[in-house]
Amino acid sequence: MEQYKIDRLGHQGDGIAEGPVYVPGALPGEIVQGTLDGSVLRDAKIIEPSSDRVRPPCSHAKSCGGCQLQHASDDFVAKWKMEVVERALAAHGITTQMRPILTSPAQSRRRAAFSAKRTKKAAIAGFHKKQSDIVIAIPNCQLVHPDVMAALPLVEELAVVGGSRKGEISVLVTLTDNGLDLSVSGGKPMDDALRITLSDLTRKHNIARISWDDEIALQREKPILRLGNAPVSPPPGAFLQATKDGEAALVAAVQEIVGSGKRVADLFAGCGTFALPLAEKAEVLAVEGDKAMTHALEEGWRQGKNLKKLTPLARDLFRNPLLPDELAKMDALVIDPPRAGAEAQVAQIAKSNVPVIAHVSCNPTTFARDCGTLIAAGYQLDWVQTVDQFRWSTHVEVVGCLTKRK
């Protein structure tokens, strides 16, 4: 067996040695030994550990594929995630002020997509084993909120009554203000017998709503999330920030950037994570491609307290971006696109004169690309706030403050 020294950490959380040789679970500076399989070192043994190596806080860390970085210290992960953002920006020749990272606490994830498979006698529910489609139980998970973890017995029951012996079901469990909201996919087709069974299970486990392949099977009461001063009932499976702490950090950064702006456009608005808090002080144009989320946002605004005018608009911003004349009257702009970024929309924003932009992203690579486009058009990136609400994972979110140069 050959030995290798780990030079750096890759975007997937693997240690990388010269070659490149990829070593899952290794940290920079470590000397490792194992069996080389192509470009991957299998059965790696740590010969000289890094001072940043710690004992994983979760008993499932070695087997579960849900977390990639539990073996690294919190300080190391925080520094590494900020460096990921800095490197993405540097690839486009961008430097800026980097604010300290804000990390969500353990056991704070308010939604989780559990997998479940039937067994000979019952079912097993949890996450996938590392680099495998095998479902493993994770009763001591340190990532997910305890109230969401409490749904695992129900997820197993759902696999028994609605799953096949060969396939698996996926159950997205969301913690709302008035109970759990479950969205099931991959199960057998809905029929009357299954609907009755789901009704019994929902009452037994005190679930607010359960959906089956996007169809609401039973709703005891509308699941509610409070966004600012507005109660919102999101459609099944709708996008939601992963933790309350992460959401609060992102909203605070966006509010700071928007400042005293009186007219704000929120693009890729979802169910109103930013639009509704902003409506407490500004008139908001909230644009979202998903009509169900647009409807939920509007209903939340109508039931909110002391909110200014909010105009919801269902529009595909990838195919039909807002044009400069539509943005002309805006004092500020919020943009929070999916991982692919918003190349078409950013191209139109670059032609506008919106003075301030709050750019939120879950992908530093496309964030940097889109910021580069705006900078070339006369904006400057004043600062970046890194937010880590996907603790122990390789995911990272950012908010950037862009202002038009005078």
Residues noted as catalytic: 362
Q: At what angle do helices 192-205 and 152-162 cross, to 10 degrees?
A: 170
Residue 147, phi then psi, degrees to nearest 5: -70, -30
Residues 188 and 162 sit within 8 Å (Cβ to Cβ)? yes
Residues 266 and 274 sit within 8 Å (Cβ to Cβ)? yes
C-beta neighbour count of 360 within 10 angstroms = 25
Q: Which residues pair with 284 in a beta bridge?
A: 264, 310
Residue 66, phi then psi, degrees to nearest 5: -75, -30
What does R_g of the chain's alpha carbons equal in angstroms? 23
Of the candidates 285, 286, 330, 280, the residue with the CA atom closest to the CA atom of residue 308: 280
Residue 66 to residues 11, 43, 252, Cα–Cα distance (Å): 15, 20, 28
